[in-house]
Amino acid sequence: MKLPRTIRQIGKRVVKSSPFLRRNIMTSSDYRVLSGRDEARQLMRSSSGWLTIRTVARQERAYRGLIADMKRGRPRIDFEVAAKAIAATGIERPRVIEIGCGTGSYSEVLATLLSGAIDYRGMDYSEAMIARARMHHPGRQFDVGDATRLPYGDRSFEIAFNGVALMHIIDYEAAIREAARVAERHCILHGVPVFHDHTTTFLTKLAYGAPVVEVIFDKRELLSICNEAGLLLEAEWPGIPYDVHEVTGHHSVSETYLFAINRHLRQ
């Protein structure tokens, strides 16, 4: 049973007003703008971020509820968009690598919304995430690896799917080039937060209570980097609302992009 709107609003204000509640109940809190890439690197060197078992468990619990809703016929928009982007490639049972797969939730999302019609493999730099993914999805293959130095050969997969991970990768240019390298036909950048009127900005926040870095991209810069990596934009979709105006002074949105590989650059 849903609580009345007034009670929900009061509850949100109470949570936001308490540092302890913010960090232990909210999935994301305590945003702060960083001075740039150097400060972002320094923060990540001193933080365990996505590597801790506690963070992994809290993220998994959050996704568990979303997946239950999906199986009841109410998928969240970002789940629907991910499936639409893969379906838009027109490839039957494509070989897909999810870069930044976390605990492997999208393996279940895509199998459900695409009726299992993909050959899925997941990769993440967090050993704790991959351990949980292997435990809960034993029929899938999961690897530990670095998105900026992927442990796969050229054109190993028909689709390279960056599943909401690009926003947490400080050297995102290298991650885009690597995704393009291992993809034979398409790359998908999913759930990317972008500004339409502001420069790329590095933030820090607490994600499930752990300090992490987040990148909000200048959309024009992002698409330029993709073009230089040999990616041709084919389609884009809006995602879940994601506005960091309160901390940056500029409105942002999340979007998903489907790219084709520019074969001319590979000849």
pLDDT in tens, 202-213: 999 987 778 889
Is residue 54, in this structure, part of any structural domain at all?
no
Is residue 27, in this structure, part of any structural domain at all?
no
Is residue 258, in this structure, part of any structural domain at all?
yes
pLDDT at 266: 57
pLDDT at 24: 39
How many alpha carbons fall within 13 Å on the CB side of residue 266?
A: 16
Question: What is d(CA 76, CA 81) in angstroms, rounded to the nearest whole number?
Answer: 9
Question: What is d(CA 48, CA 55) in angstroms, rounded to the nearest whole number?
Answer: 9
Q: Predicted confidence band at 35 (pLDDT cuts at 50, 70, 90)?
A: very high
Percentage of residues of the chain with pLDDT beyond 70: 88
> What are the φ/ψ torsions at residue 157 (nearest 5 degrees)?
-135, 150
38 to each of 45, 170, 193, 203, 233, how far by Cα in Å?
11, 9, 20, 12, 30
Question: What is d(CA 216, CA 80) in angstroms, rounded to the nearest whole number?
Answer: 22
Question: What is d(CA 227, CA 220) in angstroms, rounded to the nearest whole number?
Answer: 11
Q: Predicted confidence band at 56 (pLDDT cuts at 50, 70, 90)?
A: confident
Tell me which of 113 and 50 has the higher pLDDT.
113
Q: Could you give the 3-state DSSP secondary structure of residue 196? A: coil
Question: What is d(CA 51, CA 182) in angstroms, rounded to the nearest whole number?
Answer: 25
Is residue 61, in this structure, part of any structural domain at all?
no
Our count of domains for the chain comes to: 1
pLDDT at 54: 82
Whether 65 contacts 93, CB under 8 Å? no
Is residue 64, in this structure, part of any structural domain at all?
no
- Give alpha helix (H) positions in 72-182: 77-87, 105-113, 127-136, 172-182
Mean residue pLDDT across the chain: 88
pLDDT at 70: 96
**How large is the average pLDDT for residues 13-40?**
61
Is residue 115, in this structure, part of any structural domain at all?
yes
pTM, 2 dp: 0.87
The residue segments making up the domain with residue 124 are 71-196+223-266
Spacing of C-alpha 211 from chain mean position: 16
**Per-residue model confidence as pLDDT tens digits over 106-121:** 999 999 999 878 999 9
**CATH number of the domain where residue 150 is located:** 3.40.50.150
**How many other CB atoms are there within 10 angstroms of residue 239's CB atom?**
22
**Per-residue model confidence as pLDDT tens digits over 149-203:** 999 999 999 999 998 899 999 999 999 999 999 999 999 999 999 999 999 999 9
Residues 6+ positions from 185 with CB-CB distance below 8 Å: 89, 91, 94, 158, 159, 260, 261
pLDDT at 108: 95
Judge whether residue 9 has pLDDT over 70.
Answer: no
Q: Predicted confidence band at 29 (pLDDT cuts at 50, 70, 90)?
A: confident
pLDDT at 57: 86
Question: What is d(CA 216, CA 200) in angstroms, rounded to the nearest whole number?
Answer: 6
Question: What is d(CA 181, CA 121) in angstroms, rounded to the nearest whole number?
Answer: 16
Is residue 229, in this structure, part of any structural domain at all?
yes
Residues 6+ positions from 33 with CB-CB distance below 8 Å: 201, 202, 203, 247, 248
pLDDT at 230: 97
pLDDT at 4: 56
**How large is the average pLDDT for residues 22-51?**
76
Is residue 203, in this structure, part of any structural domain at all?
no
pLDDT at 46: 78
pLDDT at 267: 52
**How large is the average pLDDT for residues 54-76?**
91
